[in-house]
Structure 1
Amino acid sequence: MLRPLAAAVRCAPWAAAAAAAAAPGRWASAAAGPGGSVIDQMVAYARGEGGAAAVDVVRSGLTMAKGADASRLLLVLSELSGAQGDWGAAASAASQAAAAAAADAAAPAELRLSGLLLGVRACLAAGADDEAASTAAAGTAAAAAAAAGAQGGLPAVLSRLVRLSAGGGGGSAATAEPSADASGGAPPDLLAAAAAKLSADALLLSGGGGGGGGGNGSGAALEGAKALYRRAAEAAAAAADDGGGGVPDCGPLSRRFAREVEADASLGLAQVSMAAREWDDAEAALSAALKSAEAAGGEAAPLLAPVLCALGVVYSRSARVMYAEGMFREAAKLARLDPARLTVAPPSHALHPSLHAALAWRYCQLLSALPNRGGEAEAWEGAARALWGRSGAAASAHPIEAALGDRIALKGQGSHGGLALAALLPRRLLVAPAG
Structure 2
Amino acid sequence: MVEAVQQAKQQARSPRVLFYSHDTFGLGHLRRSRALAGAVTRAAPNVSALILTGSPVAGRFPFPDNVDHIRLPGVTKTPDGNYESERLGLHIDEVTELRAGLIDATVKHFDPDIVIVDKEPTGFRGEMIPALTWLRQKRKAHIVLGLRDVLDDPETLAVEWERKGAIEASEQYYDECWVYGLRSIHDPTAGLDFSAAFRAKTRFTGYLRREELPDGEVPSDPYILVTPGGGGDGAGMVDLVLSAYETDPTLSPRALLVYGPFLSGEVRAQFETRVTKLGDRVHAVGFDSRMENLMNGAKGIVSMGGYNTFCEVLSFDKPVVIVPRTRPRLEQFIRASRAQELGLVRMLDETRGELTPEAMAKAIHGLATQPSPSSAFCPGLLDGLDVVSDRALDILGLTRSQGVA
User: TM-score when scaled to structure 2?
Assistant: 0.28
The structure with the greater share of residues assigned to strand is: 2
Greater relative CO, 1 or 2 (CA 8 Å, sep 6+): 2
TM-score (norm 1): 0.26
Structure with greater proportional helix content: 1
